Amino acid sequence: MNNALDKHGFAMDLVEQTATPFYYYDLDLLHATLDEINRQIEGHPFKVHYAVKANGNPRILKEIAESGLGTDLVSGGEIKAAIAAGFDPREMTFSGVGKTDWEIRLGIENGIGCFNVESIPELEVINQLAGEMGKKAGITFRVNPDIDAHTHKYITTGTADNKFGISIEALDQVIRHALTLPHVNLRGLHFHIGSQITEMQPYVMLCETVNRLLDRYDAQGIHFEIINVGGGLGIDYMDPDAHPLPDLEEYFGTFKRLLKLRPNQLLHFELGRAIVGECGSLISHVVFVKETRNKKFIILDAGMTDLIRPALYEARHKVQNLTAADSDGQETYDVVGPVCESSDVFAHDCLLPVTRRGDLIAIRSAGAYGESMSSCYNMRSLPSSVFAGGK
């Protein structure tokens, strides 16, 4: 346990001892989020799967595995990491439009609960490989519900124009086909409509779509053991201290109220960002403060290779100076990284305390899709990680 927290909630002894740039994870906040999830789903036929793509740091995975969640996985590497962290293979769902043969075999070998199938060619290959291995693979179909969640175009997944899932029109035929195959066991339907969703309306529409489909398949005598409504619940990037936890009551409450689950049916969720987003910050040093004719730049030793969200999605994260004195006044800065790309910008026109070379800067709400999307472009090193708090 680190006790000396600064006014922003960071264990400064840990921050000051660690070479920058690095990810700082607040495990107390991670556990508070996990505990709240478990509280919200208690007594309901709900199972939450953690979307490992949001953050596959082994320590983070281990902490989440201990809280009893399942996993949503999108590659053989993620299957291996989840098994190493202690997640139960039976509570694993393997999604993705381009699963390769070795990845499918790895999943079957380890007895994962479900392949989330996104096309007929994939269905055929899973059936064939499972047959060759003398096994039967559990599957769900990923349905593209054609719901626009109004998020950034690169993270919208549930509209008719993108590559994910099977259209509702094609579903009847695909289900009938699956029921004839000897080496797959059709367990349910899956839906994922996008990411960083902060309004409940898209989820309300999703519940209506699912209810309609359940009526349709009841009439055909087809029962699904699992309905998986994907993930996507957003977090507060602008004011993380006001909302350290997402509104889990409103989120789960929407499904409790509106989704008409059948007896013996389980509702699966696949949350990534909502679980790990707020517990992580990217910490860096100010290398230089540079003035040009009309701008002041804070140049950090962290860049887009450590956190690519601003460069890729024009995402904005709250930036804080952890070491400047408030009494020195404030200035407006562009906060940028050292990488040779003009998009390597964390914040434009950001009001901060007067900042100097050597100051420590935190880029907040970076726990999801931060470390997991980091790269070595410009032959930079991958960021390291430290953990504060925890059980």
Letters for 343-382 (x = contact with ligand LLP by CB under 6 A, - = none) are: -------------------------xx-------------
CA-to-CA distance for 135 and 107, rounded, in angstroms? Answer: 11
Stretch binding ligand LLP (CB under 6 A), from 58-66, 99-107, 228-236, 334-342: 228-236
Nearer to ligand LLP, 14 or 373 (CB): 373
Q: Which of 277, 279, 363, 360 is nearest to 318 (CA)?
A: 363
Beta carbon nearer to ligand LLP, 338 or 367: 367
Specify the residue, 183 or 317, whose C-beta has the smaller distance to ligand LLP: 317
* Longest pairwise C-alpha distance within the chain: 73
Q: Which of 113, 246, 272, 367 binds ligand LLP (CB under 6 A)?
A: 272
DSSP class of residue 5? B
Report which of 1, 9, 29, 32 is spatially closest to residue 362, judged by C-alpha positions.
9
Residues 57-86 that bind ligand LLP (CB under 6 A): 72
Tell me, by CB under 6 A, how many residues bind ligand LLP.
22
Stretch that binds ligand LLP, among 122-130, 179-187, 190-198, 256-264 (CB under 6 A): 190-198
- Does 54 interact with ligand LLP (rule: CB under 6 A)? yes
Among residues 155, 178, 206, 352, the one that binds ligand LLP under rule CB under 6 A: 155
| H helix or E strand, kind and range, residue 27 | helix 27-41
If DSSP codes are grouped into helix, strand and coil, which group holds residue 297? strand
Establish if 273 lies at the interface with ligand LLP (CB under 6 A).
yes
DSSP state of 54: G
Q: Does 230 bind ligand LLP (CB under 6 A)?
A: yes
Residue 144 as a binder of ligand LLP (CB under 6 A): the answer is no
Within 296-335, the residues that bind ligand LLP by CB under 6 A are 309, 313
Question: Hey, how many other C-beta atoms are within 10 angstroms of the C-beta on 12?
Answer: 16
230 or 338: CB nearest ligand LLP: 230
- Give 32's contacts (C-beta < 8 A, 6+ positions apart): 244, 245
- Are the beta carbons of 102 and 79 closer than 8 angstroms? no
Q: Which residues inside 32-51 make contact with ligand LLP, applying CB under 6 A?
A: 51
If you ran DSSP here, which 8-state letter would residue 103 be given?
H
Nearest to 294 by CA among 352, 340, 349: 349
Is 95 one of the binding residues for ligand LLP (CB under 6 A)?
yes
Rounded distance between C-alpha atoms, residue 137 and residue 89, angstroms: 12
DSSP for 81-93, written as a single string: HHHHHT--GGGEE
Q: Are 52 and 273 in contact (CB under 8 A)?
A: no
Which of 31, 192, 268, 380 binds ligand LLP (CB under 6 A)? It is 192
Binding-site member from 130, 139, 189, 271 for ligand LLP (CB under 6 A): 271
- What residues line the site for ligand LLP (CB under 6 A)? 51, 54, 72, 95, 155, 157, 192, 195-196, 230-233, 270-274, 309, 313, 368-369
